[in-house]
Amino acid sequence: MEKLVIKGGTRLEGNVVIGGAKNAAVALLPATLLVDGICTISNLPYISDVKISCKILEELGAKVTWNGKNEVTIDARNISSSQAPIDMTSKFRASYYLIGALLGRCHHAIVGLPGGCNLGARPIDQHIKGFEALGATVEICEGKINAHAKDLIGTSIYLDKVSVGATINVMLASVLAKGTTIIENVAKEPHVVDVANFLNSMGADIRGAGTDLIKINGVERLNGNTTYSVVPDQIEAGTFMLAAAATKGNILIKNCIPEHLDCLTAKLIEMGVNVETFNDSIRVYTDKRPNKANITTMPYPGYPTDLQPQIGVALSLADGTSIINEGIWESRFQYTAELNKMGAHIIDQGRSAIFQGITDLYGAPVAATDLRAGAALIIAGIVAHGETSITNIYHIDRGYENIEDKFRSLGANIQRVIEEDIF
Ligand code: UD1
C-alpha cells in the first residue's frame, strides 16, 4: 500500500506549472473514436484516468502511440469492438463518455456502469434522455449500459440538470448524427468548450459551447491529422492557489487561464489573500490567516465543487466561522471528518458544513476519501505541525500528475512511501 507522508509547518513558495485538464482529457480521448483519421493529443496529464482511457481505446482496436508522457497519437480508423471492458470502465467516472462516442461512431455501445469518486448518487439519466432523444434505445442490465440505434437523428434536448457529463456525452453522440441537434441548459465548464473545440478542429460543426445552448449540425465524417492541446487544468491551478492561501505562502501558478478561475480569485480576495493575474499565470500570496467566507458550489462560472475540499482547509484555518453549501454533490464533506482528526472544528450537516476557524492543525494519520479530498489533505498536512500520513492515495493519482514532486518543488517535505499491508 502506498501512502504520502508529510512533515508539516511549511510556507509554500516558488513556481508551479499546471498540466492539461483531467476532465477535458478523459472526454477528448473517447472523442477520438469519432475521428476518421489519425489525431494527436498533447498537454495530456499523465494520470491514471488518462492511462486507463488509452488502454480502453486499445482494447477497442485503436492504435495508441505515446510520444512521451504527455502526448499520444491515436488511430481509431479500424476499431474492432463497440464493447468496452467492464473491469476498466468501472475504475473511473468518465468512462461514460465511451457511450456517446461509440454510439456516434458505431451506433452501438456496451459500457459498464461508471465508477469514480463516491460523492453520493451520481445518476446518468440526463445522458440517457439525450441518447434516447437522438433515436437510441438504452438498456441497463447486469451492470452494463447497452445503447443502440439504427440512425441517430438530430433533435432538441432540454437537460433537466446542468450536467457536464450529459452535455459532453450528448454532444459526442450527435456530431455525426443526421441533421441538427440543439441542447439547452447545458454546462459551460472550460472542458465542455475544449471538447467542442477539439471536435470542430476535426471538422465538426458545433456552435455555442460555453453558453447555455449548444447547436450541433451533424457532419458526415471527422478528419484527423491534427494535433490538439488539452486546456490547462483549472482545478489543479485552483488547488495550488488554495495551497498558497492555506500555508500563508507565495506561489506563481504558471500555464493556466486566469479567467477560468475568476470565481476563486474573487473569493480569495474576499478572504484577504493577495491575487495577481497575468496573461497565463496567477500569483497568490499572503502572510496572514484568511478571513472567514461563505461559499456555495455551483456549475461554472460559479464556485466549483471540485475546489470545495481545498478551500475547506483554508477556511478551517480562517479568522471566524464560515459556511460551505455544497450545491452539486450530496456526499462531498467526507473529508471534514479527516480534517477534524487534525484538529479542525468542522460540523458536517450533510449538504452544508460549518467551519469554526482555528489557528493550528496537527499532523495525524488520515485517508483520502476521494480525489479532491486527497488534494485537500495534502494541503492540510503541509500546514499542520508534525507528521501527517495519507492513505488511499490512488484517488489522488487518478487526477494529479506528480503531485508530490510539484509540492516538493514549492518547499513541502512530502514523500511517497510503500508500506507492506499488515493483514
Ligand atoms: C463532472 C466532473 C466532476 C465534477 C462535476 C461537477 C468529469 C469527469 N467529472 O462530473 O469532477 O465534480 O462534473 O462539476 O468531468 N446529474 C443528474 N443526472 C445526470 C447527470 C448529472 O441528476 O444524468 C446531477 C448530478 O447528480 C449532480 C449534477 O447533476 O448533482 C452535476 O453532475 P455532472 O455535471 O453531470 O457531473 P459529472 O459529469 O459526473
Question: What would the pLDDT profile of 167-188 be if each residue is shown by its tens digit?
Answer: 999 999 999 999 999 999 999 9
For residue 116, the model assigns a pLDDT of 59
Helices (H), 164-220: 164-174, 190-201
106 among known catalytic residues? no
With beta carbons less than 8 A apart as the criterion, state whether 318 and 248 touch: no
pLDDT over 60 (residue 239): yes
26 lines ligand 1 (CB under 6 A): yes
116 in ligand 1 pocket by Cβ < 6 Å? Answer: no
Q: Percent of the chain beyond pLDDT 90?
A: 89
CB 377 within 8 A of CB 396: no
Ligand 1, atom 37: closest residue by C-alpha? 165
Q: How far is the CA of 147 from the centre of ligand 1 (A)?
A: 20
- Which ligand 1 atom is the nearest neighbour of the CA of 94? 8
Q: What's the rounded Cα separation, in Å, for the pair 97 and 27?
A: 6
- Specify which residues 40 forms β-bridges with: 73, 227
Q: Virtual CA dihedral for 42, 51, 414, 255, nearest 10 degrees? A: 20
Selected catalytic residue, list 117, 141, 256, 263: 117
Return d(Cα 240, Cα 66) in angstroms, integer. 28
Q: Residue 330: CB within 6 Å of ligand 1?
A: no
Asked if the model's pLDDT at residue 422 lies above 60, the reply is no
pLDDT digits (tens, 9 = 90+) for 249-301: 999 999 999 999 999 999 999 999 999 999 999 999 999 999 999 999 999 99
pLDDT at position 423 over 60: no
Mean pLDDT, the chain, integer: 95
pLDDT at 114 (0 to 100): 76
What is the spatial order of strands in the sheet that 63-66 belongs to?
A: 63-66, 72-75, 38-42, 226-229
Helix (H) or strand (E) holding 383: helix 371-383
Task: Give the residue among 128, 402, 102, 55 at the shortest CA–CA distance from 240.
Answer: 402
- Ligand 1 mean position to 119 CA, how many Å? 10
The three grid cell numbers given for residue 74, joined into one nine-digit string: 491515436
What are the chain's domains?
Answer: 2-19+232-421 (3.65.10.10), 22-229 (3.65.10.10)
Ligand 1 contact, 77 CB (< 6 A): no
Q: Using the predicted structure, report yes or no on whether residue 121 has a pLDDT greater than 90.
A: no
More confident residue, 151 or 90: 151
- Please give the pLDDT value at position 142: 83
Q: How far is CA 368 from the centre of its chain?
A: 16
pTM beyond 0.85: yes
- Ligand 1 atom nearest to CA at 117: 11
- Beta pairing class for 226-229 and 38-42: parallel
Report pLDDT digits (tens) over 281-294: 999 999 999 999 99
